[in-house]
Chains A and B, each alone.
Chain A
């Protein structure tokens, strides 16, 4: 029953019934649907998974299934955690890393946003500078970290500088993308109404680019944290990164876990805070 479909479509009417033998009998089936569990059930399952994992870890360490020298064990980690906070430098380290991250984040984001916005003012300037920015973006900035430590010393400034190096380009490029996407018709409308460039910049460019600048905040807080940790790895007297490195070098695996745990908590808290700020800002900026 091969019908020459390709030839003379218009002239010969196609035998519609010809396709029928090719089809199988019609099989009706229900729409597949998953029954969703309620939120408490989901949370319960998550807790069970977490507790189960920790218990399994503890059990395998005690039974000798895994080497507790390398992997440590939850009970030991908890002990060290207490010691770290009561007798150790916990708060000094946390505060050091936190300050370095926050400063790197704020300086890098602000600087990057300003650079991105500045491209609006002159197409020539943007065209000249853009390749350099893209080049700088493609450099693995962390590879420059030892150099930055040499220049800025082993204190806080070098950690901030690494964070800035990581965040500034992301902000600049994102903001520049925002600048390029400013509605040309709105721009023309403003000029038709006799606006000056400064007015167009303040009333149109900045407000339309803001959501772009804000959308990059969550990425940047993570990058700034990475920057300060790497800086502390290389050379530092304080900070959670230094604590991790020090503990690893002295085979205090439990302390490594403690520092990682504290670092993760810090990271999550900062992320949640920034995400909240982002939500609040977006609500004011975008309609």
Chain B
């Protein structure tokens, strides 16, 4: 167990809803990630991906279970992992450079030194010439780059990426994925990635955890048997397609048992759960846990 970079043990989280009922957001989630691995969590909305991230980042203490980083129990501790969301969360009154050094600044590095340290990284990773611009002047892709660099230069060995490219257009998104893989191999960080996009998950990850909702739990763990480095055209290969299909099948099955989505056809590659357009069949009741608001 000591080889794992980060490990979750029996993480369970209950919310009290507005009506005073107990709602189980996470049920006994456990996994461990070896150093330098890239893993993805995929699953429908409400499967507790964000709760997992909040728990790892220390922003929310789970009701039960523990988070272990480098063999040390760190449940409820902040400042140990880099964290990045779909929103770039750049400070509008700081220049790109000053945004990127925020993590270092919080850790007590002098601003001047932090800037000198960060400058070459900006130049190297496609933000050269934009150091002194304000975020408002940047495109969505550029802003996400800046946000990711900030996360990286915070210098934690684990980074959590919560749908970082979700708001980008398809082309920018593809470029950002390659850019992320480049950075990941340069820095050798352990990455936990959340996405709705199955293709993205397969393209980027070493392992994929398929999650289920209500309560949020891990349904399956899949190894991605694709060699690295992965050129873009790998997405056209049969092995890739098979992997994608397996993920989709698992998600599809999950959506069907919950009964709030029509069967996904071959033409629907979205992991996004469909809207509840049919009332849930009685079988859905069977799956709900006792504590769940029915």
* Partner-B contacts on A (CB < 8 A): 183, 185-186, 188-195, 199, 203-204, 207-208, 285-287
A17 to chain B, nearest CB (A): 35
Contact of B79 with A189 in the complex, beta carbons under 8 Å: no
Could you list 30 examples of A-B contacts with CB < 8 Å? A183-B89, A185-B85, A185-B87, A185-B89, A186-B89, A186-B91, A188-B59, A190-B106, A191-B59, A192-B59, A192-B79, A193-B83, A193-B102, A193-B107, A193-B154, A194-B106, A195-B106, A199-B106, A203-B91, A203-B105, A203-B106, A207-B93, A208-B93, A285-B93, A286-B92, A287-B92, A287-B93, A287-B134, A287-B135, A287-B136
Q: Does B148 contact A (CB under 8 A)?
A: no
Whether a CB of chain A sits under 8 angstroms from the CB of B35 is no
Interface of A, helix, strand, loop or mixed by DSSP: helix
Chain B positions within 8 Å of A192 at CB level: 57-59, 78-79, 81, 83
Given contacts A188-B59, A203-B105, A287-B136, is CB(A193)–CB(B89) below 8 Å? Answer: no
Which one, A190, A191, A195, A286, contacts B93 given CB within 8 A? A286
What total of chain B residues lie within 8 Å of the partner, measured CB to CB?
A: 24
Question: Given contacts A192-B83, A193-B154, A194-B78, are A204 and B106 in contact (CB under 8 A)?
Answer: no
Check A194/B93 contact, CB under 8 A, given A188-B59, A203-B105: no
Residues of B within 8 A of A186 (CB): 89, 91
B80 at the interface (CB under 8 A from A): yes
A-B contacts at CB below 8 angstroms, number:
55
B103 at the A interface (CB under 8 A): yes
Q: How far is the CA of A199 from the CA of B134 in the complex (A)?
A: 21
Which chain B residue has the least Cβ–Cβ distance from A183?
B89
CA distance A190 to B99 in the complex (A): 12
In angstroms, Cα B83 to Cα A189, docked, is 7
Q: Which residues of A contact B154 (CB under 8 A)?
A: 193
Most buried by A among B79, B85, B106, B134: B106
**How far, in angstroms, from A179 to B80 measured CA to CA in the complex?**
27
Interface residues of B in 52-101 (CB under 8 A from A): 57-59, 78-83, 85, 87, 89, 91-93
Contact call B89/A189, Cβ cutoff below 8 A: yes
Report A-chain residues with C-beta under 8 Å of the C-beta of B93: 207-208, 285-287
Bound: A220/B106 CA distance, A: 35
B95 and chain A: residue at smallest CB distance? A287
Contact bitstring B99-121, A, C-beta under 8 A = 1, else 0: 00011011100000000000000
Which residues from B are CB-within-8-Å of A199? 106
Residues of B within 8 A of A204 (CB): 91
Contacts of A188 in B (CB 8 A): 59
B106 surroundings in chain A (CB, below 8 A): 190, 193-195, 199, 203
Chain B's closest residue to A210 (CB) is B93
User: Min CB distance, A207 to chain B, in Å?
Assistant: 5
Q: Which 4 A-B pairs have the closest CB atoms?
A: A194-B79, A192-B83, A287-B134, A192-B57
B187 to A: closest C-beta gap in Å: 17
Q: With both chains docked as a complex, state the minimum distance between the C-beta of B67 and any C-beta of chain A, in angstroms.
A: 14
Whether B85 lies near A193 (C-beta < 8 A) is: no
A189 to B151, CA, bound (A): 10
Chain B hits for A191, CB < 8 A: 58-59, 78
Which A residues are in CB contact (< 8 Å) with B82?
Answer: 193
Shortest CB distance B167–A (Å): 14
Q: Whole-angstrom distance between the alpha carbons of A183 and B58 in the complex? A: 19
Which residue of chain A has the shortest Cβ distance to B80 in the bound complex? A194
Which A residues touch B87, using CB under 8 A? 185
Contact A207–B91 (Cβ < 8 Å): yes
Q: How many Å lie between the Cα of A43 and that of B51 in the bound state?
A: 63
Nearest-Cβ distance from residue A197 to partner chain B, whole angstroms:
12
**Given A185-B89, A207-B93, A287-B135, A193 and B103 touching (CB < 8 A)?**
yes
Distance to closest chain A CB from B34 (angstroms):
23
Contacts of B134 in A (CB 8 A): 287
Distance to closest chain A CB from B86 (angstroms): 10
